[in-house]
Chain A
Amino acid sequence: MNPTGSRSEQKTKEDKFFLLEKPALEGLLISLLTIYAAVLGGPIVSFTAGVGMVFAIIWAADAVRKISKYGLGTGVPSVGMFGIGLACIISIFAVSVNAFWSPMIGVVLALVIGWISGKLINKILGMNIPSMEKRIAEITAGCTLAMIASFIVIAGTLESTIVFSSYILTGISALGFIGIAVAVFHAYNANLGPDEAQDRTKMLTVLDALLLLLILGIAAFFMGYGSGATLAYLIGAGITIFMSIAFILISFYKFWTYVKRDAWQITETGLLPSEEDLN
């Protein structure tokens, strides 16, 4: 499934500006639009930020897929954890600076710092992976957008006081931290190999992101219910839950279809052999 072609052809493909690639453009635009829709619409439409989180995760996961093809030598999870480590600090920083502009500030900072770190890793540590700078910047930016979107899913707003008291201090931040990281790196890590197909990896990413969204939605609903949140907040969280359940079923069915399409043969293992069969 590896794209064939000479090395120079691949190089020009990797040199393209990142916004000219479809997953990056989709991820950036859709997640920014949905995050701002949720910010302007109030807690009742907080589920749109969930959609934004899924698209941001797809963007980051696609960058993980493209960089991991070169063989990092350290396992696929490492680059995901690097991205989420930077993204966690950047997203909280962006929210602290300014609530309304935090998605913009976060993306720009993530792209710049990710590019710097990729450059340092490539040049000083001597990894020499083509487009390392661009991909790490994309992973960091995708993770940052996903983190900021998850702030809205839980807090319903980007006001730093509310984000801190409901997202970070309650410990849901730990769930968001590891959940986004797993959603970003798991799909390629599970599907890698000579028969890796882009649509199958992407569908697994969607499934992972939606599972995280379901957990976040449940957390938001019961936290809001326990602390006496407004009806609008509870409706927003409820829609998040039902929306994610519906799309989990769809994406799981599609992923299973892709698995059956790509598998050479599916056999049932049957029951465990009895002791007589073994002798």
Chain B
Amino acid sequence: MMNIILFLIASLLITLGGVLITISVHLIPVGGAPAAMAQATGVGTGTTQLAAGAGLTGLLVAVSVHLLSGDVLLSIILGGIGSAIMISIVMLISNIGYIYGIGIPLASGKAVRDPMTKDRQDIYVSKGTEGHGIPTAAFLSGIVGGIIGGIGGSLIYSVIYTVLHSQTDFVFSTPAALTISILLSISIYFINAVIASYNIGGTIEGYYDPKFKKLPKAIIVSAVMTFICGIMSLFIVIQQGGAL
């Protein structure tokens, strides 16, 4: 049995991971169904799908690095980079589709000038739409979001795995410990992605979007929910640590 201080620290670290995931979803340019028809800025799919794609890639990278090197810190950082690479590929390919497939310039509907390049945006936005494609600022915001989200997901995974491994009567095989940690961290990932998605109402362009100011509300909800889920996950891990 682990002592209560370590238990608290672990659950707080899991909560931090959940909050990081929530922040990351606010940074990724999600367009939802309108963006799939090139009528809103962002990637043309929902937050849940984007979170699944980027988050699971990050977890995959983190788990493989952890398995090969055994270094927790390295796996957390590389998990973030893996997520960022995945989200960049998604944004790049959708931009190619928007530019060469639909034939539209990349323009933000929320900002008059791009916050990064200072290029004029409003004159390129087609009438009746809220921007289209993924302009520079949204793209960079998405990469940062990917890094933060990947770090959050890998952090949750690493904490659960470390707690599982620190049990004195630890008898899990390595794949077994990995499976449990991944299953629990994926569940927490989805919960936080959906909370953030409800806060932004399904679409957001990036850090310069007015909806980004609603972030503190999502952090409160996410922290509460992740704390509950984190305590339950830690209980499962401690209860089952020596059982198999």
Contacts and interface: CB of A to CB of B under 8 A. Distances in A.
B123 interface: no
Contact of A121 (B193, B221, B244): B221
B179 interface: yes
Contact of B217 (A96, A126, A161): A126
Interface in B164-184: 175-176, 179-180, 183-184
Contact of A96 (B47, B189, B224, B235): B235
Chain A interface, >50% SS class: helix
Contacts of A84: 187, 190
B225 A173 contact: no
A125 B190 contact: no
Contact of B235 (A93, A160, A174): A93
Band of interface residues on B = 35 or more
B47 A161 contact: no
A83 to B, nearest CB: 9
Contacts of B214: 125
A92 B189 CA distance: 17
Contacts of B187: 84-86, 88-89, 177
B32 interface: yes
A73 B202 contact: yes
Contacts, number: 124
Contacts of B233: 89, 93
A75 B183 contact: no
A79 interface: yes
A160 B240 contact: yes
B188 interface: yes
Contact of A173 (B33, B183, B195): B183
Contacts of A171: 179
Contacts of B224: 116, 120
A116 to B, nearest CB: 8
Interface of B: 32-33, 46-49, 52, 175-176, 179-180, 183-184, 186-191, 193-195, 197-199, 201-202, 214, 217-218, 220-221, 224-225, 228-229, 232-233, 235-236, 239-240, 243-244
Complex A-B, nearest 10 residue pairs according to Cβ-Cβ distance, in ascending order: A85-B190, A74-B202, A82-B194, A85-B191, A75-B46, A73-B202, A85-B187, A88-B187, A96-B239, A93-B232
Given A82-B190, A116-B224, A177-B187, 18 more contacts: A74-B32, A74-B47, A82-B191, A85-B191, A86-B191, A88-B183, A88-B184, A92-B183, A93-B232, A93-B236, A96-B239, A120-B221, A125-B218, A160-B240, A168-B180, A168-B183, A169-B175, A177-B186
